[in-house]
Structure 1
Amino acid sequence: MAESLKPVAGLLLVLNFCMYVVVAAIGGWAVDVAIDRGFTIAPGLVLPAQFSPIFFPMGNAATGFFIIFALIASVVGAAAALAGVNHIRAWNSDSLPAAASSAIIAWALTLLSMGLACKEIDMEGRNARLRTMEAFMIILSATQLLYILTVHSAASIRSRP
């Protein structure tokens, strides 16, 4: 029975990895735009009172926080997927703790980013790339949880006498 969950876990792992890479690419684009079009000040002038180092010229007030946390979640999620690949290859109880713990940390960061995505959706005023990033983070919060449940259920099936 546990062996039958291996293809499901592998499929979810590949799906999550691809989605995390897309989120990282879009987040990298957003950071590049923010650096290129960000706030500049002439020498000798002071910063305005409302200056924020997390200013993004696209989106709304939640965009900066969402992009930063989505980038962190996507890098941790991609790394967790690599640990998951090792677990899928070995498919034993020795490789489970590394894969499960990294997947849970990635899921927690993804949930945080999903919450910021919901806030950004609520505030409106964003472009298509940000909408894509928001949608991927919301989908990833569910698929990452499914991956965690699949891996843990396979481990519990294997441990039964």
Structure 2
Amino acid sequence: MANEQMKSVASLLLVLNFCMYAIVLGIGGWAMNRAIDYGFIIGPDFQLPAHFSPIYFPMGNAATGFFVTFALIAGVVGAASAIAGVNHVRSWTAESLPSAASAATIAWTLTLLAMGFACKEIELEIRNARLRTMEAFLIILSATQLIYIAAIHGASSRRI
């Protein structure tokens, strides 16, 4: 009985996390596209600005480039871990647990890294609404991904 409850909790968290990682990827893709379109144009006749950064974003602050880059990496790995998690929830056996748990743990650690840059970006204060949304999603994802990991491990301790 408790095993089925953990399975439903894990399924709900998988769907929630996948949707949130997809939104992070969408906003991060927008930010990366905008940075490519409106970033520095360097050619043979142009000189680099005094404080040139190869990760320059025309919106946000000094942490935005790192934040968006690591958020995109965390989003891709998080979406992939949700797919591995769906495979585990479908079979719900001890054999499928290690791959789902390791993928979820890697996604969680990358999400924590992106969340750290989000906290730095919040501290520096200059950002737009889309970046604020992505910051909030990553902070929420750092908690829900950890709860998902606990849910699949909690079920395994009760013999899947």
TM-score (norm 2): 0.96
1:24 aligns with 2:29: no
- Pairwise CA distance, 1:45: 3.1
- Pairwise CA distance, 1:53: 1.2
Measure, in 1, the Cα distance between the counterparts of 2:39 and 2:158: 53
Measure, in 2, the Cα distance between the counterparts of 1:87 and 1:117: 31
Q: Secondary structure at the match of 1:155?
A: helix
Aligned to 2:106: 105
- Pairwise CA distance, 1:46: 3.1
1:34 aligns with 2:35: yes
Deviations 1:81-135 (A, max 9, x none): 0000000000000100000000000000000011110110010010000000000
Measure, in 1, the Cα distance between the counterparts of 2:42 and 2:158: 61
- Give, as a single letter, the amino acid of the residue that structure 1 aligns with 2:18: F
- Give, as a single letter, the amino acid of the residue that structure 2 aligns with 1:61: A
Aligned runs of 1:73-152 on 2, under 5 Å? 73-152=74-153
Measure, in 2, the Cα distance between the counterparts of 1:63 and 1:42: 24
Deviations 1:54-92 (A, max 9, x none): 000000000000000000000000000000000000000
- Pairwise CA distance, 1:2: 1.4
Measure, in 2, the Cα distance between the counterparts of 1:121 and 1:42: 34
Aligned to 1:61: 62
Percent of aligned pairs with the same residue? Answer: 69
RMSD: 1.0
- Pairwise CA distance, 1:40: 0.8
The gaps in structure 2 that reach 5 residues or longer are none
Measure, in 2, the Cα distance between the counterparts of 1:94 and 1:42: 55
TM-score (norm 1): 0.96
- Pairwise CA distance, 1:27: 0.2
- Pairwise CA distance, 1:42: 4.1
- Pairwise CA distance, 1:43: 2.4
Measure, in 2, the Cα distance between the counterparts of 1:62 and 1:94: 41
The gaps in structure 1 that reach 5 residues or longer are none
Runs of 4 or more consecutive aligned structure 1 residues displaced over 6 Å after TM superposition:
none
1:43 aligns with 2:44: yes
